[in-house]
Copies of this chain bind each other. A is one copy, B any other.
Amino acid sequence: MADRKIISIDGMGGDHAPRIVVEGLEQIAKTHPHLDFLLHGNETKLKELLASSPTAAPRTTIRHTDKEVAMDAKPSQMLRQGKGTSMWNAIESVKAGEAVAAVSAGNTGALMALSMFILRKVEGVHRPALVGSWPTRKGVCAMLDLGADIAADAEQLVEFAIMGAAFSRAVHGVQNPRVAILNIGEEELKGHESIREGARLMRASNLPIDFRGFIEPDKIGHGNVDVVVTDGFTGNVAIKTAEGIARMISDMLKDAFKSGPFAMLGAALILPALKGFRTKMDPRNTNGGVFLGLNGVVVKSHGGTDAVGFAKAVQVAASMGESNFRQEVEENLRRLAPAVAAGPAPAEQAAT
């Protein structure tokens, strides 16, 4: 059914590259027969790894380069010296139209800076945003911005809502995503001015988006909204807090499960029942953040992930590459324009 799609891959980015990259391609190649790969990096190393990847190998074209972006490289330095690295070339392939999306597990700051520089922002988007997936009781929720920038005004929050809704449809398969703005209370009077004005603008604009108002962080897990919008500083704090707590609990559980013969027996008995829980909380299954708002799709994989996680990031890239994301965002940005032009609300009524 589907046309063949080419995904551009940074073969050398990440803590365990290029091994987990090629292993990830082998995994995704099996389940996604219409994908081909343009793999950037050291040809000798990549060929060697592809030799034991029978499904991916015939569908992979290697583009050799000796240069790569160090995991601790400064973004500003990479803008000056990054040309010709596997990361740069992977993004460049998207710009050139050779691939529908790029994936890298390399240095986040460098990937963001190079993506912005090479692909440029979509017209009408003021700030790009990093979107990621957040597990909930009922499934998964999209959250943005997770740290592409540190601030966002009201209009930018609405742009995030537009992009987040399109992402939710494209990647999570939600037909009519419910969108909310992150706040510390559900009342209209709480939170920063930008947040309150953002909510007003969402309501004033004629967007085909199911806007649910504000959501408090402890309610995200209930799974009653599909997209949560916030500025990049707050979003980064929220996602890192969630990761930290989940990891602490998981470590403490593992320690308890190994703490003695009775506990180990108990753990063995309970393991099957914990399968759904472990799958949901497995960070590999929500791997793959996307930089939204650029002229092309770039997916950021966790640097420390394994083949399963990298395959998931490639799957996100494929979903984005096959979707109407771009068209939907452009249409909604056009719908937003009149509400922005109308300006902020007239002097607010005093709260009663």
Contact = CB atoms under 8 A, between A and B. Distances in A.
A240 interface: yes
A341 interface: no
B184 A147 contact: yes
Contacts of A347: none
B192 A217 contact: no
A307 to B, nearest CB: 24
Given A184-B233, A251-B137, A244 B272 contact: no
Interface stretch (A84-92, A261-269, A294-302): A261-269
A11 to B, nearest CB: 27
B247 A221 contact: yes
Contacts of A244: 217-221, 242
Nearest to A236: B184
A346 interface: no
A117 interface: no
Counting contact residues on chain A (CB < 8 A from B), the size range is: 35 or more
A280 B268 contact: no
Interface stretch (A52-60, A166-174, A252-260, A315-323): A252-260
A337 interface: no
B248 A221 contact: yes
A245 interface: yes
A246 interface: yes
A66 interface: no
A257 B253 CA distance: 13
A47 to B, nearest CB: 37
A122 interface: no
Given A238-B237, A238-B238, A270 B280 contact: no
A273 B269 contact: no
A249 B147 contact: no
Nearest to A219: B244
B270 A266 contact: yes
Most buried by B among A192, A221, A268: A221
22 contacts: A150-B192, A184-B236, A184-B240, A191-B233, A220-B241, A220-B244, A221-B247, A237-B237, A237-B241, A238-B238, A238-B241, A241-B241, A242-B242, A242-B245, A245-B245, A246-B249, A252-B276, A256-B270, A256-B277, A260-B273, A262-B269, A262-B270
